[in-house]
Amino acid sequence: MGCFITFEGPEGSGKTTQVHLLAEWLQAQGYDVVTTREPGGTRIGDGIRALLLNPLYVEMQPEAEILLFSAARAQLVGQVIRPHLARGGIVVCDRFADSTLAYQGYGRQLDIEVLRRITAFATGNLKPDLTICLDLAAEEGLRRKRGGDQAEWNRMEQEQLAFHERVRRGFLALAAAEPTRWLVLDAMQSVVSVQEAIRQRVAQHLNFERSVVT
């Protein structure tokens, strides 16, 4: 019944590059792969993304922020992720519900249990089979982003360093609580070594799945 892989981690950890390298490799192995990202990935989600990330909307309320991320997620799950998994395909998603727990829960310090309930509603309880966390010091991640395309600078990245440090600790806490789902990798390593470790873990997971089915 398909395989759902998500990538998480702080800003500037290189998720997008790794998502694409993994998808190319899986496609070359003959898998039917869809890559997507949050917030976004559908035209409704892209509209919501524009609201969420616009640096001008400094007045956005935390509750509104959660519900907008969740609305984009509900649309992506229903329109893209579940249909592809039902066809037996692999979905690779750049950020998913764990980002809400890390950014809104640990970063904004909102009630994690409330966030879990909202997220369960938005996704119909869909959970990733495997989550890769590219871990990086918050300061280093922000430095990488600032050195990059300023046009991509978004509302979340404007937050203080302490916020981003809480987010990073949040990801590590989530990973520690569910070690079989998560693989945490040091994003200071080269792109090639990070990708190698990801492929090993994914191959292990897919072989395991195959042996269960056959």
Q: In what order do the strands lie in the sheet with 3-8?
A: 33-37, 90-94, 3-8, 130-135, 182-186
Please tell me whether residue 154 binds ligand TYD under the rule CB under 6 A.
yes
Among 53, 67, 112, 137, binds ligand TYD (CB under 6 A): 53
Where in 69-98 is the site for ligand TYD (CB under 6 A)?
A: 69, 94-95
| Residues 172 and 135: beta-carbon distance below 8 Å | yes
CA atoms of 29 and 158, how far apart (whole Å): 40
Among 38, 110, 142, 168, binds ligand TYD (CB under 6 A): 38
| Residues 84 and 107: beta-carbon distance below 8 Å | no
* CB of 2 or CB of 170, closer to ligand TYD: 170
Where in 109-148 is the site for ligand TYD (CB under 6 A)?
A: none
Closest CA to 26 of 209, 198, 208, 145: 198
Report which DSSP code applies to 30: T
* CB of 17 or CB of 200, closer to ligand TYD: 17
Among 99, 123, 131, 195, binds ligand TYD (CB under 6 A): 99
Please tell me whether residue 197 binds ligand TYD under the rule CB under 6 A.
no
Please tell me whether residue 103 binds ligand TYD under the rule CB under 6 A.
yes
Please tell me whether residue 11 binds ligand TYD under the rule CB under 6 A.
yes
| b/e 110-125 (16+ beta carbons within 10 angstroms → b) | bebeebeebbeebbee
Where do contacts with ligand TYD occur on this chain (CB under 6 A)? 11, 15-16, 38-39, 53, 69, 94-95, 99-100, 103-104, 154, 156-157
